[in-house]
Structure 1
């Protein structure tokens, strides 16, 4: 192989690392308490209650096979806002809590290795009914939205942070998933990092399918300026960092967008 670095990065996709880990020495097996299910927040902060997923009138019932068949990466969006109840459904579908087990564990609407769920969901809101523009964070335990902060020229800065790809700046909302690696490292040590990436894929596919129920579209983004995205979210880039993104907007149906 001409590039020796290539084999190193290919090894990340393998699971041979488990043969070299003494799992008896993980923080879990040493009796250290697990990290919390979600990041803490100031209860006096600006928080928006979300409609319960079981009472959403704007979400249509669709056949699962149709949702899978119609799933497309959509990069062109209408100027129509996403409704708050539609956003509520998309958040529930991607990171909603089915049952909290204890301080460090909860069953969600997506699978995660060892029930560790190392992701947090941030939103770059540009055109959502009842919400001002800004950066938000989803609180899955409460099914509420935490307003983090406003950003001047947010449409411009989100585009700059994805190397000029224009569609996040025209979307109603962009889902931004961050990883908190220690949630997974607590259980799996050096075997944690591959499965965090796999978990992100589970979450984003649920977003694709859920969009089909609200006449919306999305397109996953894995090419972004790491430092710029972490700065935009005001996270440290070490113990928490951006891992995946997906803009969402309303679309015409039927459509002729490129399928990928």
Structure 2
């Protein structure tokens, strides 16, 4: 028996069950079709926590880059220079990965990345290790207003996050870590259980934008999919069901 046969249809695991149960024939009516009001476009900001305005993404300090050149140079980079990220650069990268171009009332947003049905089910968190103008700590990107909200400044957070990513030490050496969490009901409200497939597709769109945009500001990126889900969700203060970590990536100045 070949390796392909061993991993084929005869061996049903959780992944194959997921693909089977999310086929359209099992979905039924979505909450949108039932007339249930849709969830908010963004989690509300905490009025008790500080909010930081970000520079506009068209800041004159951000150079233009040729798309073909960016695609040719794009690669995963785990070694970074001992150089801080500028706040303008972080704001640019946030806008390129979840920036809002148009808001259609409380119904939908059009952003710099595609999303199934314009559902945009992600929240972006930033672990700032070395960003000019930011105290090291955890922040959440408020995409609708292009601002950051401080979550916490626990000095052990970066170490604990590295441990939860199975001790991938380059996380500590990065200028910042982008963490994308999914709020699944934003997607499943329209697409039912099929929406969980769309969440993972959307994560790829977002991270690729980060890789390409980083070329404009002399940064390297490395996506991380290996992490302890429960430990990371706990570090972010989310419950792993209504909101869970789906993907993360380090960013730092090229060495």
With the shorter chain as reference, the TM-score category is: over 0.9
Alpha-carbon distance in 2 for matches of 1:197, 1:11: 16
Distance of 2:158 and 2:47 partners within structure 1: 28
Q: Deviations 1:146-193 (Å, cap 9, x if unpaired)? A: 001112322311210100111111111000000111000100001110
- Contact kept in structure 2, 1:155 and 1:170, CA below 8 Å: no
Q: Does 1:81 align with 2:87?
A: no
User: Aligned residue for 2:246?
Assistant: 243
Which residue of 95, 109, 113 maps to 2:112? Answer: 109
- Aligned pairs for 1:87-166 (under 5 A) are 87-166=90-169
1:228 aligns with 2:234: no
Q: 1:127 to 1:5 in 2, by over 3 A?
A: farther
Tell me which moved more, 189-198 or 3-12: 3-12
Say which of 21, 43, 50 aligns to 2:27. Answer: 21
Q: Per-residue CA shift, 1:66-112, capped at 9, x if unaligned?
A: 00000010000111100000000000000000101121410000000
SS in 1 for 2:178: strand
Partner of 1:69: 72
* Count of aligned pairs between the two proteins: 249
Q: Note the aligned Cα RMSD (angstroms).
A: 1.7
Counterpart residue number, 1:174: 177
Task: Please state whether the residue corresponding to 1:243 is helix, strand or coil.
Answer: strand
Of the three residues 40, 44, 59, the one matched with 1:40 is 44
Q: Find runs of 4+ consecutive structure 1 residues off by over 3 angstroms.
A: 1-8, 10-16
Does the CA-based 8 Å contact 1:58-1:214 persist in structure 2?
no
Label 1:121 to 1:5 Cα distance change in 2 as closer, same or farther (>3 A). Answer: farther
Change (3 A) 1:14 1:96: farther
Q: 2 CA distance for matches of 1:117 and 1:15? A: 23
Q: Does 1:9 align with 2:12?
A: no
Say which SS state the counterpart of residue 164 (structure 1) adopts: coil
Matched, 1:201 2:204: yes
Contact 1:17/1:191 (<8 A) preserved = yes
Q: Is the 8 A contact 1:220 1:246 kept in 2?
A: yes
> Is this contact kept in 1: 2:179–2:249, CA < 8 A?
yes
Residue number in structure 2 paired with 1:255: none
Change (3 A) 1:29 1:69: same
Task: Give, in angstroms, the shift of residue 2 of structure 1.
Answer: 4.6
1:212 paired to 2:218: no
Higher mean C-alpha deviation, range 152-161 or range 138-147: 152-161
1:133 is displaced (CA, Å) by 0.8
Query: Residue 97 of structure 1 contacts residue 109 of structure 1 at CA under 8 Å; is this kept in 2?
Result: yes
